[in-house]
Amino acid sequence: MANFVFRRLLLAIPTLWFIASAIFLLSKLMPGAFGSAHLAQQEAGYYSRSDAASRDHSYRQFLKTTGQDLPLFYFSITSAAFPDTLHRVFPERDRAFLQKLSWQYGDPEAAALFFRSLKTLEASLSESERQQVQEHLFRIYSHEDAAGLQQATTAIASQLPSSRHSQRQMLESSERLLAGSRGYTYLLPSVQWHGAQNQYHHWLSGLLQGSLGTSLRDGRPVATVLGEAIGNTWWLLLVSMLFATLLAMELAILMVRRSGRIWRSTFLPALFLLDSVPLFVLAMLLLVLLANPAFLQLFPVYGMGYYSSFDQSWVAQLSQWLQFMALPMICLVLANLPYLTNQFYQALAAVAGQDYIRTARAKGLSEHRVIRRHMLRNALLPVITLLSDFLPAMVAGAVIIETIFAIPGVGRLLIDAVLARDYPVIMGIVVIVAVFRLLSHLIADLLYALADPRIRSHAA
């Protein structure tokens, strides 16, 4: 058995690695890193210029501490039309500018040189000088063609004293830039090797050591953030899962009885109807009907209400928890009931025609005994696999329910992280969900072997 478990785990690891890596790399390839929008407000005029510079500095610091200034992967393939130092240029606005320069004039080295000299010139300007050339600097950053660039640089040269070294350098490099012309260098790929100092390597080695990184929003470790949220989701899922399973089983037993014709003709259409109501509509409907002063205020509406629960006994705490969790749980149970009941009913009905059931009936056993003792155990076998698939799938339901009822769980955390583009937290949730599914499949396999002696002997 241990052998079997080990093999399953070994097979699942590549899957886990593949999907986590794919999402990690995808998330990094897309533009718009966390916090870069913050920097783009620079020209809003609300802050003074020095403030913007310090923000620029703090953004770089932020990138450095979170390791986002490193190259993404072990190697990179770019077009030869771009300078190789491109990935070291921050913020993204500057990177796009340098990219545009080297694309437009076809000489990556000259473009990089010009870009650097422009930056040094800008840094050496005093406040009044900056005021003078502000307009031309802006023209350089947004120029369309070579004539525009030339005009702007000559305008800057005429306004500033020409003795300055950085200014001369800027003019020279701009001339060199303008002299070049775009050929077909961009057709050539250029491969660069970055070694182990890259974001992917750091992330993966951190993951292997059990560290999920730190949240970009508040700088806390992702494991802590997840740990706070996971308890609520876990209990919500587990309790509603238990209720849904028990209810579905009882309903299926009611329907499979010989006298259950009336149950069949009422429950099956009702469940079919219920199945076509999406979960969020169901939740909003129940919220409007049952937790609303305008209609019926049976349940508290939002959140967990745990501000007052510190000094209470555990019974009071539990009752308060139940009060807040009742409606979300009802929603989850109702949403999953049709599918589960249908599966249970199908499994039971398939067993009902077997010979040994006829024998059991012929022995004169009561209907109750026949169903509970003889049918249920055999019918449950296929349902075990179903349940193991079901628990992780309910995570999706939890996302919706937690958002609607404002329960601080993993689902809400995911929505918040997605809206804020907090990738470490998103990655953490992906890994947790995938591991959760993996474990539940493993447990299902074990349960299967425990329930069915044939499989046990086969596996051994």
Distance between CA atoms of residues 114 and 306, nearest Å: 59
- CB nearer to another protein: give 249 or 438: 438
Quick note: the x/- pattern for another protein over 182-221, rule CB under 8 A, is: --x-xx-x--------------------------------
**Contact window for another protein (CB under 8 A) among 36-44, 45-53, 106-114, 423-431:** 423-431
**Contact window for another protein (CB under 8 A) among 169-177, 240-248, 354-362, 409-417:** 409-417
Minimum distance of another protein from residue 294's CB (angstroms): 5
Q: Check residue 225 for interaction with another protein (CB under 8 A).
A: no
- CB nearer to another protein: give 52 or 277: 277
Residue 277 CB partners (closer than 8 Å, separation 6+): 285
Minimum distance of another protein from residue 170's CB (angstroms): 23
Distance between CA atoms of residues 118 and 96, nearest Å: 15
Q: Check residue 277 for interaction with another protein (CB under 8 A).
A: yes
- CB nearer to another protein: give 132 or 190: 190
Among 3, 259, 276, 313, binds another protein (CB under 8 A): 276
By C-alpha distance, which of 214, 234, 233 is closest to 225?
214
By C-alpha distance, which of 83, 77, 98 is closest to 190?
77
Radius of gyration of the chain (CA): 32
Minimum distance of another protein from residue 433's CB (angstroms): 6
In degrees and rounded to multiples of 5, residue 278 shows phi and psi of -65, 155
Q: Check residue 262 for interaction with another protein (CB under 8 A).
A: no
User: Prior bond to 108 cis, omega within 30?
Assistant: no
Among 52, 360, 386, 415, binds another protein (CB under 8 A): 415
In degrees and rounded to multiples of 5, residue 331 shows phi and psi of -60, -50
Among 121, 423, 424, 449, binds another protein (CB under 8 A): 423
Q: How many residues bind another protein (CB under 8 A)?
A: 57
Q: Check residue 294 for interaction with another protein (CB under 8 A).
A: yes
Distance between CA atoms of residues 17 and 44, nearest Å: 43
Among 6, 138, 272, 306, binds another protein (CB under 8 A): 272
Q: Check residue 37 for interaction with another protein (CB under 8 A).
A: no
**Contact window for another protein (CB under 8 A) among 2-10, 153-161, 312-320, 429-437:** 429-437
Among 346, 403, 451, 455, binds another protein (CB under 8 A): 403
Q: Check residue 280 for interaction with another protein (CB under 8 A).
A: yes
Minimum distance of another protein from residue 23's CB (angstroms): 6
Among 418, 443, 447, 455, binds another protein (CB under 8 A): 418
Residue 293 CB partners (closer than 8 Å, separation 6+): none
Burial readout 278-296 (b: 16 or more C-beta within 10 A, e: otherwise): ebeebbeebbeebbeeeee
Q: Check residue 393 for interaction with another protein (CB under 8 A).
A: yes
Distance between CA atoms of residues 83 and 107, nearest Å: 9
- What DSSP assignment string belongs to 377-426? HHHHHHHHHHHHHHHHHHHHHHHHHHHHHT--SHHHHHHHHHHHT-HHHH
104 sits in which H/E element: helix 92-105
- Tokens for 318? 């539990």
Interaction residues for another protein, span 79-118 (CB under 8 A) = 79, 99-100, 103-104
- CB nearer to another protein: give 30 or 460: 30
In degrees and rounded to multiples of 5, residue 190 shows phi and psi of -125, 125
Among 275, 365, 381, 443, binds another protein (CB under 8 A): 275
**Contact window for another protein (CB under 8 A) among 202-210, 288-296, 325-333, 355-363:** 288-296
Q: Check residue 444 for interaction with another protein (CB under 8 A).
A: no
Counts of helices then strands in the chain (DSSP H, E): 19, 2
Residue 79's DSSP bridge partners are 189
**Contact window for another protein (CB under 8 A) among 200-208, 217-225, 395-403, 446-454:** 395-403
Residue 42 CB partners (closer than 8 Å, separation 6+): 52, 55, 56
Is 76 strand, coil or helix? strand
- What DSSP assignment string belongs to 234-253? HHHHHHHHHHHHHHHHHHHH
Q: Check residue 10 for interaction with another protein (CB under 8 A).
A: no
Q: Check residue 341 for interaction with another protein (CB under 8 A).
A: no
Burial of 150 by CB count in 10 Å (0-12 exposed, 13-18 middle, 19+ buried)? middle
Among 10, 44, 77, 208, binds another protein (CB under 8 A): 77
Residues in contact with another protein by the rule CB under 8 A:
15-16, 18-19, 23, 26-27, 30, 77, 79, 99-100, 103-104, 184, 186-187, 189, 272-273, 275-281, 284-285, 287-288, 292, 294-295, 301, 392-393, 395-396, 399-400, 403-404, 414-415, 417-419, 421, 423, 426, 429-430, 433-434, 437-438
